[in-house]
Amino acid sequence: MKIAVLGAGSWGTALSNVISDNNHRVFLWARRKELAEEINQIKENREYLPGVKINPSIFVTHDMEYAVKDSDIIILATPSQALRFIVKDAKKYILKKDAIIVSASKGIENDSLLRMSEVIKEEVPHISQIAVISGPSHAEEVVRRFPTAVVVASKDKKVLKILQDVFINNYFRVYRNSDIIGVELGGALKNVIAICSGVSEGLGYGDNTRAALITRGIIEIMRLGKKLGAKSSTFSGLSGVGDVIVTCNSMHSRNRRAGIDIGKGKEVEDVIKSTNMVIEGIYTTKAAKRLSDLYEVEMPITQEAYKVLFEGKDPKKAVEDLMSRSGKIEIY
């Protein structure tokens, strides 16, 4: 198959490596021409994944038409807030009616509150085969071929089987799930909890606090997911519990690292400027708070995260307010 991967950041590069290892023709599109040329020349993405050589058969290009035209599968590995603009650029080259479009982006569009698959459907209505890939999968480990398990989700069983076969190998295990809503929400909302986990660490709190945040954070994700039509069982899987565990505990997680800096007193804007990567959880917190208000879903951790990130609330006071709420029943 010819497969286009749009987005030459860490995740797009790692996924390209997986697919190329499986003997598919991979065209990795980079927004910046100089980045594409450098990766092609040295077969390493020094900007996002330094020190790891990628499969030499991957062709990196700045030419969107060259990457997308005649592709059987188009994978979008861009920041969530940029995905719509990338799809707008790519759609005129998506000519195959049976092409499959896969979102590998973990976020919610702030303006529309749409999931990434919904954004794709709006922009490319003539393509019916849309899927997502998610799960606990740091690019830094995938590109080094560490054993990893993820989930692909689609409403189309045929698409699920095709994608499972495209991605799966002896270090990258892929499971199928028909609950596209749950898989997308789990992948997006876990970044909010990861920021909170980092904040607690930055404040000097320990394992008890992180465990409480992880557990109650998953409950919040399940509440909102159920309200939006997801299956509760999905959040017990790789794109729920699995993704929350890895992003709340690993220093590979830029969301956790951002939270640590915020907990230590660094301004949010300075944290954003300190990295060349997008901290998805900051944007997702805004969307999650709006969804919580819109659908009247109780999400106290998310609400406090929003106040810290966008209203300047002191993180320690946010934790105190969470702990001082009236007593609740654990599981309804």
Active site residues: 190
Q: Are 72 and 27 in contact (CB under 8 A)?
A: no
Partners of 108 in the β-ladder: 115
Q: Do residues 173 and 148 make contact, with C-beta atoms less than 8 angstroms apart?
A: yes
Q: Which long-range contacts (CB under 8 A, 24 or more apart) does 250-253 make?
A: 250/138, 252/138, 252/140, 252/141, 253/138, 253/194, 253/198
Q: Rounded to an integer, what distance in angstroms lies between the CA atom of residue 133 and that of residue 322? A: 33
DSSP state for residue 326 in the 8-state scheme: P
By CB neighbour count within 10 A (0-12 exposed, 13-18 middle, 19+ buried), where does 170 fall? exposed
Report how far residue 320's alpha carbon sits from residue 322's, in angstroms, rounded to the nearest whole number: 5
Q: With contact defined as beta carbons under 8 Å apart, do 107 and 80 qualify?
A: yes
Identify which of 190, 185, 149, 178 has the alpha carbon closest to the alpha carbon of residue 18: 149
**Contact of 36 with 63, CB cutoff 8 Å:** no
Chain CA centroid to CA 269, Å = 21
